[in-house]
Chain A
Amino acid sequence: MLVAGVDVGARNISVVVFRDDKVISSVLLTSGGEGTAASRVALAAALEKTGLEPTDLQAVVATGCGGESVTLAQRQSAEVVCQAKGAYFLFPSVRTVLNLGAESSRAIRVGDTGRVEAFAKNDKCAAGSGLFLETMAKVLEVPLEEMGELSLQAEGFEEVSGICAVFAESEVISHIHRGVPKDRILAGLHKAVVGRIQEVLAKVGVRKDVVVTGGVGRNRAIVKELADKIGQSIIVPPEPQLVGALGAALIARDLAAKSRQ
């Protein structure tokens, strides 16, 4: 049985191809342009590695804010459902999923059988999201991938307002002008971002095990600060940005199995 899951996020498109019980291919692309074309490209890229064709797929499920653009998909599935499913597949002990994506942060409470029990997301504010961190990386002239490591080197931190992205940005700029070392500013910035993430988490509560997914999960400083703050160790999958697509693929698998019956 061959199925695929496609996650069209604000920043990236990810595809996971599933055969029977295993992931056989996956792809992560920055969404170059228009959704439909980009998702077709991503799907083709994922299949290319396997030597299979889109017509070989028995079911495709799409998720993410741009999921509707995936014309090949039989069904749309909600992001929280896919995130939970994907995380549970990888770590059956998961009870809290924290999806830290480009545009938003979501907290999901997962039951013992992997079903979503509750979810919450941050309410309109950019601070705490991947795009915000990207902007800050540009302001500080630090490559995005190095932000986390650099901030971990700092001794102490320079306070950055946690309330609003606009305030935070102007504060960071004023710190730069005052000659504050970048690592200290980054440390303060990461603390502020974690503060916002904690607010979302508080809405569903923390139950172990906690799994972080999404691009921001690759920032070691954020994960470490968050783990310290909630007093709980955090699991980050090797490819945190693929979890949504994985969950969608699992739902596609269930769909295909049902239609066989």
Chain B
Amino acid sequence: MVTSTSARKALQTTLEVPTLRRKYYAQTLDDSKKGKKVAWCSNNIPSEILDAMDVTAVFLENYATVIAAKKLASAYCVAGEKVGFSPDVCGYARMLMGYILARNEVPEAPYGGLAKPDFLLVNSYSCDSRLGWFSAMSRTLNIPLHVHDAPHQPDGACDLAHYAAYTEGELRSLVAFLEEQTGTKFNPERLRQRLALSRQTSNIMYEINELRKAVPCPMGSADMFTAVWPSMYMAGTKECEDFYHRLRTEVEERIAKKIGVVPEEKFRLMWSGIPFWYNMGLLNYVEDFGGVVVVEGFYRSRERRLPVQDDDPIRDMALSSTRQRGWTASIASSIDDLLDAVKEYHIDGVVLSFNPSCRLSYVSQGELQRAVEDRGVATLGLECDMADERTYSEGQVKTRLDAFVERLLAKK
């Protein structure tokens, strides 16, 4: 049983990510020393705006996955639970609260720890559990918190004027908050440039994901869970765009030469939900049997980004956001997306992670599993916390995976 915290990568380009990540965190510490403002952010806070205003963005959820990958999560979680956070709430939240409140009791923080924040930015879009977490941090650290809201839009794209107006108003409030905190004026042109780059990056990633449909699979989830990282935390930078150019080139070469993740593909899997960050090696386990985890559901962009919607970059962001929805789809479209992916990626089986502390993803997994089974495709549900390794029982997971693999091989 592979018990490694990091997955074995098939692509060279993916191997660049740890260096990029280390550089990124080192840069944030350096920025802080130089007097740049540091914002602790939740995912989906538009980093393009922060970057355009020279604010250093530190995305906490990513740092939580780093702690988890180093198998330090449970120590941090225990510290967070000691101060009253229920084991029910998000593993990332408990860990970071443990990190903040019990620095002396938890092991050495990765990358030298997080840069000290000047303020907090949280958005309600997609996950609202984090509002409580950031609110608690704001009180504890005694620094300002700005909440960035957007309409939920469970039915997807919406063209109503007041939706765009509200979203635009929220973006302008965010900008106003940053202007107040930094004492500098917002420059729309800088944002426009970054938006252009991040659009391009998203579109390249979309193309890469389309290419992954090939048989044999040139790039699987073992690579993508790592390779997705720059797009989430370095969006809008040239370095980020270049990375994905190189990644796409490598994928194209592998397809041309018919190089797959495994030499002889016997079955293809899909991973639905958040992976177990402390044991990414799990994604390679099936490779020993000729299987590949081809594609994942969670971070995948399902379509190209819309082109520029307006000259004013803030209005452009607002319109793009209301007219194109990814993270908040209701269960019916989540099921459709999953079944489409199963078909397009030639999937033989779906592994669904049931992560009890992630209120956003967890609720749908049962119904998604049913929908896939109803289509005659085998599924395996694994229930563990995404970050807290105390909840993971190696023996159990191995047994269930073995049975699943047997089932898949028998079908062929």
Query: Could you tell me which A residues sit within 8 Å of B by CB distance?
Result: 161-163, 167, 170-171, 174, 199, 202
Q: Does the CB pair A161–B393 fall under 8 Å?
A: yes
Q: Does the CB pair B390–A174 fall under 8 Å?
A: no
Q: Does the CB pair A161–B395 fall under 8 Å?
A: no
CB distance from B91 to the nearest CB of A (A): 13
Candidates A163, A171, A174, A199; contact of B391 at CB < 8 Å: A163
Candidates B78, B81, B82, B390; contact of A161 at CB < 8 Å: B390
**A contact residues around B395 at 8 Å (CB):** 170-171, 174
**A contact residues around B391 at 8 Å (CB):** 163
CB distance from A178 to the nearest CB of B (A): 12
**A contact residues around B393 at 8 Å (CB):** 161, 167
Candidates B81, B82, B390, B396; contact of A163 at CB < 8 Å: B390
CB distance from A96 to the nearest CB of B (A): 16
CB distance from B73 to the nearest CB of A (A): 13
**B contact residues around A202 at 8 Å (CB):** 81-82
| Complex: A55 Cα to B82 Cα, angstroms | 50
**A contact residues around B396 at 8 Å (CB):** 167
User: How many residues in B have their beta carbons less than 8 Å from beta carbons of A?
Assistant: 8
| Complex: A67 Cα to B391 Cα, angstroms | 36
Q: Does the CB pair A199–B81 fall under 8 Å?
A: yes
User: Can you name 14 A-B residue pairings with CB atoms under 8 Å?
Assistant: A161-B390, A161-B393, A162-B390, A163-B390, A163-B391, A167-B393, A167-B396, A170-B395, A171-B395, A174-B395, A199-B78, A199-B81, A202-B81, A202-B82
CB distance from B78 to the nearest CB of A (A): 8
Taking A163-B391, A199-B81, A202-B81 as known contacts, 11 extra A-B pairs with beta carbons closer than 8 A to each other, sorted by chain A number, are A161-B390, A161-B393, A162-B390, A163-B390, A167-B393, A167-B396, A170-B395, A171-B395, A174-B395, A199-B78, A202-B82
| Complex: A171 Cα to B395 Cα, angstroms | 9
**A contact residues around B78 at 8 Å (CB):** 199
**B contact residues around A161 at 8 Å (CB):** 390, 393
| Complex: A14 Cα to B86 Cα, angstroms | 35
Q: Which of B366-412 contact A (CB under 8 A)?
A: 390-391, 393, 395-396
| Complex: A202 Cα to B396 Cα, angstroms | 30
**B contact residues around A163 at 8 Å (CB):** 390-391
**B contact residues around A171 at 8 Å (CB):** 395
In the complex formed, the residue of B with least CB distance to A123 is: B87
**A contact residues around B82 at 8 Å (CB):** 202
**A contact residues around B81 at 8 Å (CB):** 199, 202
**B contact residues around A170 at 8 Å (CB):** 395
| Complex: A161 Cα to B390 Cα, angstroms | 7
In the complex formed, the residue of B with least CB distance to A170 is: B395
> Which 3 pairs of residues, A with B, have the shortest CB-CB distance?
A202-B82, A163-B390, A167-B393
In the complex formed, the residue of B with least CB distance to A167 is: B393
**B contact residues around A162 at 8 Å (CB):** 390
CB distance from A256 to the nearest CB of B (A): 42
| Complex: A162 Cα to B78 Cα, angstroms | 12
**B contact residues around A199 at 8 Å (CB):** 78, 81
Q: Which of B67-84 contact A (CB under 8 A)?
A: 78, 81-82
| Complex: A126 Cα to B393 Cα, angstroms | 18
CB distance from A30 to the nearest CB of B (A): 34
**B contact residues around A167 at 8 Å (CB):** 393, 396
| Complex: A202 Cα to B82 Cα, angstroms | 6
| Complex: A202 Cα to B395 Cα, angstroms | 31
CB distance from B389 to the nearest CB of A (A): 10
**A contact residues around B390 at 8 Å (CB):** 161-163
| Complex: A199 Cα to B83 Cα, angstroms | 11
| Complex: A167 Cα to B397 Cα, angstroms | 12
In the complex formed, the residue of A with least CB distance to B390 is: A163
| Complex: A202 Cα to B83 Cα, angstroms | 8
CB distance from B278 to the nearest CB of A (A): 14
In the complex formed, the residue of B with least CB distance to A174 is: B395
In the complex formed, the residue of B with least CB distance to A162 is: B390
| Complex: A171 Cα to B393 Cα, angstroms | 9
In the complex formed, the residue of A with least CB distance to B82 is: A202
In the complex formed, the residue of B with least CB distance to A195 is: B78
| Complex: A170 Cα to B391 Cα, angstroms | 14
| Complex: A171 Cα to B390 Cα, angstroms | 13
| Complex: A171 Cα to B392 Cα, angstroms | 12
| Complex: A162 Cα to B82 Cα, angstroms | 16
In the complex formed, the residue of A with least CB distance to B388 is: A163
Q: Write the B39-80 contact mask toward A (1 if CB under 8 angstroms, else 0).
A: 000000000000000000000000000000000000000100
Q: Write the B229-251 contact mask toward A (1 if CB under 8 angstroms, else 0).
A: 00000000000000000000000
| Complex: A76 Cα to B260 Cα, angstroms | 72
| Complex: A35 Cα to B242 Cα, angstroms | 76
| Complex: A48 Cα to B84 Cα, angstroms | 49
CB distance from B298 to the nearest CB of A (A): 25
In the complex formed, the residue of B with least CB distance to A199 is: B81
CB distance from B86 to the nearest CB of A (A): 10
